[in-house]
């Protein structure tokens, strides 16, 4: 596979894992608040 | 350098945050207390070459008797010696005019045995208000040191810093004896815990908070002759405590403070007469709202166009200068338009927060609460619901949390449930782009912009819907407790420029970096899904399209062929298949599958809508058109004509006005109501309602 | 009589508050027996009731006001 293709898929996986972490594995640290932290609205 | 912990405590409306800002400047960060959604503001202040202070701005509270989550935070910190933020010294911030009431909190904290400094803010207004204080005498009565400060004029902070530095010189003795309110009870407590601060024990019993080895039950069970108090007895004793403290305070102030009652009441009276007038009050409130929305629309148009164009150019430059390949395309077509889709809303969000913080700072917001309580009560809400509902225009999450100061649970729950109907700033991007596509940019009567009017109407609609559903809920839900309502009516003040700037910068930054990260991640995923396909129809798109053209004997320019290939590719990409699958659901609303995808992705965050469309449309596009131009060229695949026309535009606007599309809001409602029942009800009912309304609108208008 | 019965501008002293229904918060804000209270009826708005208690300005609903008993100070021309 071409080098650029590899970069694309790495970025893609990073994006997916970021979202998963954000919405499904944030139970332990309940530090979300809008206006201060990452709030998605 | 040595560091000490300083806690800033005070009543609401005393300018505590201004004092905090003056001490720390921009050297502050806002976060959360772990596990709860109470804002934690901390900052650093350099006291001398050898010493700096870590300053914690605790939530405003009237006393140490917790009646809300916010107040709980203050109490827990002051009682817990093991907390890493446990203060070496406490600064109680009071304002000059309500010194008496502020001293209640002061005496309570002093009685905990903490070194406590009294900072009297707004000292610059003393003369105007005809107030004179004998500082030395008051210091003696309260057994502490006092600093007169003015956050507005930036006066007195050297003295305050000096007092903080020398906190070890302060007396830690209590100043106000309260044990006489029930001598026998307190004697027993003292016997059981000879080494503990008696007031601390009392607070622990009262507030039912647990701290490791010290909690309520063992305290009460330790001695045989100790009879625990019932809840109502405790409440009665608490009332007695408040009264005893006020007696002490009155005595202390009588000898030290003189006040010319007739001085400068004029401004309050005359402004009140106008601003809470039965007719003019509402009229002015409506006018202010209209002004805000017109300003958001008109003032931000120019910077937004610049940003839009800038990102389109950047995209083009990237393509020209980076080596050709998939990753370059990801940057130019996915990431840059994605970031552009966030940055473009900075001007508007900054403006909105500017206005909200001006209204709060000036004292006008309390008048709105006063003015609206009578009306809100009929809808099962409280006048205090107006603050959450208005902050809901920024973001539903802080709004849900702002509902905490509503005393009655039913009123509070209804407020929380209807907040998502108010138009939050995340809907703004969606509204703006659709309005600019389907509503003419012309003026009514020469000065009222139609687009601005539609925007105003949408805000109005959200608010109206919130009220209507509150009324429905009010009818359905049973009322268990007697409601009550107390609101302070603070003095009118000119907003302090620094405070306003800090709020605006804070909130805008958190929008860009908070919501922005999600949008960026989604843009990347979407681009990949749109740039790859599962089968040969995607990978051999060029071949297939060329064969089609030959078969049908078409003569097309090179550019037309490219567009045809691009749209063929998109159709058979992963996202194309996903979109097609949901198309039957969204078609009756006047949307194509691309909009369908955008609607779904906006469940992560509404403003993702714009970024999604930007990403989907720019895939394969060769020239530097802006998002808006691309959208306006789209054709409805079923009925022909422009995809974004009046009917589908209105349908989309209505869908976004009513649908519950924010995962973070659902999460915060769950946390505040302590059950999944309410957020799930919100999600289902609001989304179903949005679908039906949009359906009707499109079918009627098309 | 209670605060709810006061006329605009009339001053009174709080004599008793119904301990079970009045929130502690109201006491903490200075609404306690012995405090002087003035009712400010701007534009004849009766509910919520705009009060000046010891120079603290606050507003409460009429139903809460009924639970705060007072005796009037200036009985000259405004007695019922």
Q: What are phi and psi of B253, to 5 degrees?
A: -80, -25
Q: Please give the domain boundaries of chain B with CATH numbers for all domains.
A: 2-169 (3.40.50.300), 179-259 (no CATH), 280-476 (no CATH), 515-701 (no CATH)
Owning domain of residue C27: 3-72
Query: Considering the domain boundaries, does residue C63 fall inside one?
Result: yes
Q: Which of B179-193, B371-385, B410-424 has the lowest mean pLDDT?
A: B179-193
Q: Are B612 and B602 in contact (CB under 8 A)?
A: yes
- Kindly indicate the confidence band of residue C26, based on its pLDDT and cuts at 50, 70 and 90: confident
Cβ separation of A34 and B668 shorter than 8 Å? yes
Asked whether the predicted pLDDT for residue C78 surpasses 60, the reply is no
> Which residues of chain B does C53 touch, with a Cβ-Cβ cutoff of 8 Å?
none
Contact B342, B515 (CB under 8 A): yes
With contacts defined as CB-CB under 8 Å, which chain B residues touch C32? 242-243, 246
Average pLDDT value for chain B: 83
pLDDT digits (tens, 9 = 90+) for B269-290: 888 888 988 889 999 998 998 8
Interface pTM (ipTM) of the complex? Answer: 0.89
Closest by Cβ to B521, choosing from A8, A15, A29: A15
- Quote the mean pLDDT of chain C: 82
Residues in chain B within 8 Å Cβ distance of C4: none
Q: What is the DSSP letter of B544?
A: H
Mean pLDDT, residues A3-12 taken together: 90
Residue B62 confidence (pLDDT) = 87
Asked if the model's pLDDT at residue A32 lies above 50, the reply is no
Between B139 and A40, the higher pLDDT residue: B139
Q: B417, B422, B413, B415: which is closest to B383 by C-alpha?
A: B415
Residue B616 reports pLDDT greater than 80: no
Known binding residue B266? Answer is no
Q: What's the confidence (pLDDT) of residue A27?
A: 44
Q: Can you tell me the distance from the alpha carbon of B29 to that of B43, in angstroms, rounded to the nearest whole number?
A: 6
pLDDT at residue number B360: 83
Using a threshold of 3 CB pairs under 8 A, tell whether chains C and A touch.
no
Q: What is the sign, positive or negative, of the torsion defined by CA atoms of B595, B600, B605, B606?
A: positive
Q: What is the pLDDT of residue B490?
A: 87
Distance of alpha carbon C10 from alpha carbon C37, whole angstroms? 8
Please name the residues between 381 and 400 in chain B that touch chain A, using a CB distance below 8 Å.
394-398
Give residue for tokens 């709080």: C14
Residue B173: pLDDT over 60: yes
What does the pLDDT read at residue B209? 52
Name the phi and psi angles at B430, rounded to 5. Answer: -65, -50
Q: Determine contact: B356 vs chain C, CB below 8 A.
A: no
What pLDDT digit, counting tens, does each position of B456-500 carry? 899 889 999 999 999 999 888 876 566 678 888 888 888 888 888
Contact B311, B343 (CB under 8 A): yes
Query: Quick check: is C79 in a domain?
Result: no
When divided into structural domains, chain C yields a total of: 1
- Straight-line distance from the first to the last Cα atom of chain A, in angstroms, rounded to the nearest whole number: 38
Find how far residue B18's CA is from the centre of its chain: 18
Spatial neighbors of B634 by CB under 8 A, at least 6 apart, are: B592, B594, B617, B642, B643, B644
Nearest-5° Cα angle at B247, B243 to B249: 115
Distance CA B82, CA B503 (A): 32
Confidence of residue B417 (pLDDT cuts 50, 70, 90): very high
pLDDT for position B218: 52
Nearest CA in chain A to B524: A12
B674 to chain A, any CB pair closer than 8 A? The answer is no
Asked if the structure places residue C47 within a domain, the reply is yes
Does a structural domain hold residue C37? yes
Residue A28: the pLDDT is: 39
Q: Is A34 on the interface with B (CB under 8 A)?
A: yes
Q: What is the DSSP string of B139-170?
A: HHHHTSEEEE-BTTTTBSHHHHHHHHHTGGGS
Query: Is the CB of residue B489 less than 8 Å away from at least one CB of chain C?
Result: yes
Helix axes B364-378 and B346-362, enclosed angle (nearest 10): 90
pLDDT at B29: 72
- pLDDT score recorded for residue A25: 59
Give the β-pairing of B89-95 and B116-121: parallel
Nearest to C47 by CA among A33, B382, B504: B382
Which stretches does DSSP call E strand in B417-573? 443-444, 448-449, 486-488
Please state the length of chain A.
41
Instruction: List B6's β-bridge partners, or say none.
Output: B55, B89
Residue A40: list chain B partners with CB under 8 A. Answer: 514-515, 518, 604-605, 662-664
E-assigned strands of B252-352?
257-259
Range of weakest confidence among B118-122, B499-503, B646-650: B499-503
Q: What is the pLDDT of residue B163?
A: 92
Query: B58 a known binding residue?
Result: yes
Residue B230 has, within 13 A of its CA and on its CB side, a CA count of 2
For range C41-69, the mean pLDDT = 84
C-alpha B476 chain-centroid distance: 29
Placement of tokens 């601390």 in the chain? B200
Does the annotation list B495 as a binding residue? no
Exposed/middle/buried for residue B280 (C-beta within 10 Å: 0-12, 13-18, 19+): middle
- Smallest Cα distance from B168 to chain C, Å: 30
pLDDT surpasses 80 at B33: no
Shortest CA gap C33–chain B (Å): 8
Quote the minimal CA–CA distance from C61 to chain B in Å: 6
Per-residue pLDDT tens over the stretch B532-550? 989 888 888 888 888 888 8
User: With an 8 Å Cβ cutoff, is B271 touching chain C?
Assistant: no
Q: Do A11 and B327 touch (CB under 8 A)?
A: yes
CB-based contact, B280 to chain A, within 8 Å: no
Whether B contacts A, i.e. 3 or more CB pairs less than 8 A apart, is yes
Dihedral sign computed on CA atoms, order B359, B362, B365, B368? negative
Smallest CA–CA distance, residue C43 to chain B, in Å, is 6
Residue C31 maps to a domain: yes
Residue C28, domain CATH: 2.30.30.90
The whole-angstrom separation of Cα A38 and Cα B512 is 9
Q: Residue C28: name the closest of B500, B632, B481, B108 by CA.
A: B108
Cβ contact B359:B365 at 8 Å: yes
Instruction: Please state whether at least 3 CB pairs lie below 8 Å between chains C and B.
Output: yes
In this complex, the chains that touch A, judged by 3 or more CB pairs closer than 8 A, are B
Query: Could you tell me if residue C80 is inside a domain?
Result: no
C78 located within any domain: no
Mutation choice for B interface testing from C20, C28, C66 by most B CBs within 10 A: C28
């Amino acid at each position: 596979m071409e080098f650029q293709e590899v970069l694309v898929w790495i970025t893609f996986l990073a994006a997916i894992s970021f979202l998963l972490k954000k919405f499904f594995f944030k139970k332990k640290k309940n530090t979300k608040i809008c206006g201060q932290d990452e709030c998605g609205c | 350098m040595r560091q000490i912990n300083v806690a800033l405590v005070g009543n609401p409306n005393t300018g505590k945050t201004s004092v905090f800002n003056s001490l720390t400047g921009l050297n502050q960060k806002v976060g959360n207390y772990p596990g709860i959604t109470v804002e934690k503001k901390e900052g650093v202040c350099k006291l001398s070459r050898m010493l700096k202070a870590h300053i914690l701005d605790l939530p405003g509270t009237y006393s140490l008797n917790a009646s809300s989550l916010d107040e709980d935070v203050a109490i827990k910190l002051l009682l817990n010696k093991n907390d890493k933020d446990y203060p070496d010294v406490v600064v109680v911030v009071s304002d000059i005019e309500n010194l008496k009431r502020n001293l209640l909190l002061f005496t309570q904290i002093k009685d905990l045995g903490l070194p406590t400094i009294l900072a009297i803010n707004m000292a610059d207004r003393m003369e105007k208000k005809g107030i004179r204080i004998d500082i030395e005498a008051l210091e003696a009565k309260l057994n502490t040191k006092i600093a007169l400060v003015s956050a507005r004029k930036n006066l007195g902070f050297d003295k305050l810093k000096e007092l903080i530095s020398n906190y070890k010189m302060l007396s830690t003795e209590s100043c106000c004896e309260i044990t006489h309110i029930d001598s026998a009870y307190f004697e027993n407590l003292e016997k059981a815990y000879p080494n503990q601060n008696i007031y601390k024990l009392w607070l622990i019993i009262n507030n039912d908070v647990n701290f490791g080895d010290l909690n309520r039950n063992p305290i009460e069970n330790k001695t045989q002759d100790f009879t625990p108090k019932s809840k109502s007895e405790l409440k009665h004793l608490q009332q007695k405590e408040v009264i005893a403290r006020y007696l002490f305070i009155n005595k202390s102030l009588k000898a030290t403070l003189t006040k010319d009652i007739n001085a400068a009441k004029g401004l309050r009276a005359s402004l009140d007469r106008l601003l809470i007038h039965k007719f003019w009050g509402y009229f002015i409130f409506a006018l202010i709202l209209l002004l805000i929305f017109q300003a958001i629309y008109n003032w931000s148009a120019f910077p937004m166009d610049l940003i839009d164009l800038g990102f389109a150019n950047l995209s083009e430059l990237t393509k020209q200068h980076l080596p050709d390949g998939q990753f370059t395309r990801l940057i130019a077509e996915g990431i840059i338009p994605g970031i552009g889709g966030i940055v473009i809303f900075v001007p508007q969000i900054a403006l909105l927060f500017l206005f909200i913080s001006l209204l709060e700072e000036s004292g006008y917001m309390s008048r709105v609460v006063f003015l609206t309580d009578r009306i809100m009560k009929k809808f099962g809400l409280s006048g205090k619901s107006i603050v959450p509902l208005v902050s809901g225009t920024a973001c539903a999450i802080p709004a849900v949390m702002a509902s905490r100061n509503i005393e009655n649970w039913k009123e509070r729950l209804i407020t929380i449930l209807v907040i998502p109907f108010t138009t939050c700033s995340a809907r703004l991007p969606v509204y703006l782009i659709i309005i600019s596509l389907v509503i003419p940019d012309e003026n009514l009567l020469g000065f009222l912009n139609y687009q601005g009017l539609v925007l105003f109407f949408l805000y109005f609609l959200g608010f109206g819907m919130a009220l209507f559903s509150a009324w429905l809920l009010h009818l359905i839900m049973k009322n268990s407790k007697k409601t009550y309502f107390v609101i302070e009516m603070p003095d009118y003040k000119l907003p302090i420029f620094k405070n306003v700037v800090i709020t605006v910068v804070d909130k805008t930054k958190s929008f860009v970096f908070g919501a922005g990260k999600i949008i960026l991640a989604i843009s990347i995923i979407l681009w990949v899904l749109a740039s790859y396909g599962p089968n040969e129809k995607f990978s051999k798109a060029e071949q297939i399209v060329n064969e089609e053209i030959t078969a049908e004997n078409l003569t097309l320019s090179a550019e037309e062929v490219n567009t045809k290939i691009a749209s063929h590719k998109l159709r058979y990409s992963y996202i194309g298949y996903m979109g097609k699958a949901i198309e039957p659901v969204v078609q009756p609303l006047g949307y194509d599958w691309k909009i369908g995808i955008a609607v779904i992705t906006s469940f992560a965050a509404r403003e993702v809508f714009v970024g999604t469309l930007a990403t989907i449309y720019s895939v394969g596009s060769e020239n530097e058109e802006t998002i808006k131009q691309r959208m306006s060229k789209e054709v409805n695949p079923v009925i022909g004509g422009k995809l974004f026309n009046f009917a589908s535009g209105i349908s989309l606007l209505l869908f976004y006005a009513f649908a519950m599309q924010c995962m973070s809001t659902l999460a915060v409602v769950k946390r505040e109501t302590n059950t999944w029942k309410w957020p799930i009800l919100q999600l289902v009912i609001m989304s179903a309602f949005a679908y039906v309304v949009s359906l009707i609108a499109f079918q009627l208008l098309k | 009589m209670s605060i709810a019965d006061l006329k605009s501008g009339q001053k009174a002293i709080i004599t008793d508050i119904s301990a079970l229904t009045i929130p502690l918060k109201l006491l903490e804000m200075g609404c306690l027996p012995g405090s002087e209270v003035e009712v400010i009826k701007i534009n004849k708005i009766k509910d919520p009731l705009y009060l000046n208690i010891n120079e603290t300005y606050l507003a409460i609903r009429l139903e809460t006001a009924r639970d705060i008993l007072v005796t009037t100070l200036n009985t000259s021309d405004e007695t019922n």
